[in-house]
Chain A
């Protein structure tokens, strides 16, 4: 892991001890331990849920996407290579599903789903301006922001997760941060 990703406060499972513990949890879960599964779930749910929410902007859809991602991960758990970290695998499933959901919603013009930036959750919204600015981005741009600045992946890792070249990740990040900057600056002020 690079220094930049290690500095992310949310990415705390990269260390040797922690990753060995996680590999043991995966092994135990593969063998049928519900306790191990619950620890894995508690470790990873919040970030997967939050990531999905920031990409789709709809609390119900985000909950469904994160649930489905965990269920998909469990269905494939027996085939999971324990030498690899669990988090990136789960995040890959969740973020890609969130992007697909957001794209499909745009295509189907779902009237009953709130658009990103106008979801009603008074008092609990991420600051209005930042949320609105995120909502102005495409799902693909929101995803790179979330993967980089919430989950702490490097551009190279993000490229692997989304299946796009690193240069594309960097250009999407640059464009997205340019769009978000006014929201950050105005709220700081």
Chain B
């Protein structure tokens, strides 16, 4: 091809109009802005280790004031990642509790088994366990896909807009998946049938299922109720089978991801299988993991500086997993005393081989003991 031809090719590639280019830009900006609002700003140039961490812990001790009644700021991350931690190990070793992790690595979903071995399920954006760990619901652009733990696709549906934040709930034999498509809330049965829109103008936050009620409590109670936030921030709940709105309960609010509220923001309070709760609370530049075990006092553990992901409970309710992107580590923290941390480092490289340590930080989506 001559130089003149190449110039002509470049001109056409550059100047040819794209369908609704301006509209696409504005739609994208709204989404990007919403995504940006949901992230915590990076603290200014904070050294990660040693003195600075200890100083951060001291600041935390003075400023945290976040203790709910009875909570005690008892432990701080002092060195490396803390609290009698084992030295971070490159790679992922045996998990300290039974079960398997589901991981979102930006350009792929992975399962990490208890022995630390991994399997890539496919090129998915988000992934979530089914209630019993037999399947994974994953998103790929406008597609919602159900795959088995070997990565084989069981079914696929295509939504009108990009699918985000799937959440899977239900009983042994009857499950539903709620998900967002654009700014609509949708639901589909666990076998991929009956997809329907439940609500419009929902906030860019994940929906949350209510626990399935005990069948003995009465046949009239709806089995599948999902709570969500509207674009104005209000909490709503709807019976996913009838589409009928139902009254909101206080627990619906705590089950939903909170809206960003600036420097004093809390993450989502996560309830563990044994009834304990854990939440990442941020005050100024300090973050603490606040753990409350059933019948026990709340305890706050100082965390390393910078944004964190999680927490995620282990299936036995004894451990919590927190992601630390700036340190490129996963911290697995024993909830009970004696406190113990297992730290896995160089996590990104484990899920982005061949990218020289680049790639999106892998986020733990769930930790489950599969019933297979």
Residues of A within 8 A of B1 (CB): 177-178, 180-181, 184
B35 neighbours in A (Cβ, 8 Å): 70-71, 74-75
Q: Which of A41, A100, A104, A184 is the one whose CB lies under 8 Å from B29?
A: A41
Report Cα–Cα, A65/B17, bound state, in Å: 18
Given contact pairs A49-B24, A70-B28, A72-B360, A127 touches B12 in the complex (Cβ within 8 A): yes
User: Chain A: interface secondary structure?
Assistant: helix
A binding-site residues for B, Cβ under 8 Å: 8-10, 29-32, 34, 37-38, 41, 45-46, 49-50, 53-54, 59-68, 70-72, 74-79, 96-97, 100-101, 104, 108, 110, 112, 119, 121, 124-127, 130, 145-146, 149-150, 163, 177-178, 180-181, 184-185, 188
Is A149 a contact of B36 with CB atoms below 8 Å? Answer: no
Of residues 25 through 41 on chain B, the ones whose CB sits less than 8 Å from some CB of chain A are 25, 27-29, 31-33, 35-37, 39, 41
Interface residues, chain B, with chain A CB atoms under 8 Å away = 1, 5-6, 8-10, 12-14, 16-21, 24-25, 27-29, 31-33, 35-37, 39, 41-42, 44, 106-107, 123, 125, 140-142, 156, 158, 161-162, 306-307, 325-326, 354-355, 359-361
Determine if A70 and B5 form an interchain contact, defined as CB atoms under 8 angstroms apart. no
Indicate if the CB atoms of A124 and B18 lie closer than 8 Å.
Answer: yes
**Chain A to chain B: the 3 pairs with minimum beta-carbon distance, closest first:** A32-B41, A126-B16, A121-B19
Most A CB within 10 A of own CB, among B5, B25, B32, B106:
B32
Chain A residues, Cβ within 8 Å of B28: 41, 45, 49, 63, 66-67, 70
- Residues on A with C-beta less than 8 A from B141 are 61, 64-65, 68, 101
> A74 with B18: in contact, given A67-B162, A79-B361, A149-B13 (CB under 8 Å)?
no
- Closest CB of chain B to A151's CB: distance in Å? 9
Q: How far is the CB of A13 from chain B (nearest CB, A)?
A: 15
**What is the chain B residue whose CB lies nearest that of A130?**
B12
Cβ-defined contact, A108 with B325, below 8 A: no
6 extra A-B contacts, CB within 8 A, seeds A66-B28, A124-B18, A150-B10: A59-B18, A59-B19, A64-B142, A77-B42, A78-B325, A188-B5
Could you say which residues of chain B place their CB within 8 Å of the CB of A150?
A: 10, 13-14
